[in-house]
Homo-oligomer: A and B are copies of this chain.
Amino acid sequence: MSVKKSSHGPISKLVRKMRKHALLTQNELAELAGVGKTLVFDLENGHENIRFENLRKILQVLNIQISFSAPQIEDVKPAKVRK
């Protein structure tokens, strides 16, 4: 799939930066992660609508940690979701 967005999200830049530092080509990263090369290309170019599992595979190769943090339960209420 071709990429429409011209503004690259934070993940895009992080992935590209880390891949460069790891001295990997897009194809190599794709192979190590077990995904298609198109996926790596799209991800680096702002196409963040990717399966979570595939994103995890790629980030794992690059030693990028994903963490989830929840606030204190007293504060929990539906957040304002911006359209």
Contacts and interface: CB of A to CB of B under 8 A. Distances in A.
Interface in A32-83: 32-34, 48-53, 55, 57, 59-71, 73, 75-79, 81
A69 B53 CA distance: 17
Nearest to A29: B78
Query: Which has the most chain B C-beta neighbours within 10 Å: A11, A61, A79?
Result: A79
Nearest to A32: B78
Given A18-B70, A50-B51, A70-B18, A24 B63 contact: no
Contact of A14 (B33, B62, B70): B70
Contacts of A11: 68
A20 to B, nearest CB: 9
